Amino acid sequence: MENVIIREARREDCKELRRLIQELADFEEMPDDCKLTVEGLERDGFDAVPPLFHCYVAEVNTHMKDISATKEENVSDVLKMGDSCAKLIGHALYFFSYSSQRGRTIYLEDIYVTPEYRGSKLGSALFDKVAKKGIETGCVQMDLVVLNWNPAQIFYKRKGATDITSEKNFNYYSIDRDAMEHLLAYKYKHTLVDTKSVNL
């Protein structure tokens, strides 16, 4: 697509990035699960050292027809031509993790393209950007989670992904903050009881 570039996200993208993340949550039928704020994205992605996440964004600009769509070095030229016409139409958010069996991994947390640009291979380009970053940074694998009803599973399998839930019998678990606080409160309460029982 000649009027679209894929580039690394910047701080000033966070408002639009939050919009895209909400659109993804809506698509996944979990609209109320999206609690992260614009300020949270700015803090975690651009103030934290090292950043807690990284992100590629796809940007469309009506003034970009005469500019190569594939070179990130053209971004500054594009913005000089009128960034008021620029709009984010997709993103791929990732972070680095670690496998105790294999080593450094790259985790694809989100990948999303707005409905009007699906079918344009933009999602594939975003995915490939993250995979390339994984290779460049010495990662041994790329991980992601997908809902069992999401037809994107076909896309991921075509990219070489393996469904470890069915093939290796792994189940992905998550413990939310309320559960963690409850766990610690319970442990602390019983620690106090045990301490009193031995007269310490």
Catalytic sites, residue numbers: 156
Q: What angle do CA 161, 7, 116 make, to 5 degrees?
A: 70
Q: How far is Cα 97 from Cα 143, in angstroms, rounded to an integer?
A: 9
Q: How far is Cα 22 from Cα 24, in angstroms, rounded to an integer?
A: 5
Contact predicate 65/2, CB 8 Å: yes
Q: How far is Cα 80 from Cα 86, in angstroms, rounded to an integer?
A: 11
Contact predicate 66/73, CB 8 Å: no
Compute the radius of gyration of the chain from its Cα atoms: 21
Distance of CA 108 to the CA centre of its chain: 5
Token output for 4: 């679209």
